[in-house]
Amino acid sequence: MRFDGARHKTFHVAGRVRSMDRRADIEVETLLKVVLALVAVWIGVEILESVIETVLGPFKSIFGLIIIVVIVLWLLDRI
């Protein structure tokens, strides 16, 4: 197997060099839609986190203790 160090092949068309690598061909509107969706997901996660923090906030240490007990019981084959 021969490796010439080139990442992708190029070819000449009318004196210009064009790349055959088409990964970066994305329209601006499509990119903006992707960014908008990611920001919407981010805001949704932040809202969900604040709701969970408000509802389950006082019980955080209890949930941690329950998780530790379950893991220890699993390791000792008691479950």
pLDDT (tens digit per residue) in 9-33:
555 555 565 556 666 677 888 889 9
pLDDT at 79: 73
pTM, to two decimals? 0.47
Residue 58 has, within 13 A of its CA and on its CB side, a CA count of: 1
pLDDT (tens digit per residue) in 42-71:
999 999 989 888 888 877 788 888 999 999
pLDDT at 19: 57
Ranges of each domain in the chain:
10-75
Contact between residue 9 and residue 20 where contact means Cβ atoms under 8 Å apart: yes
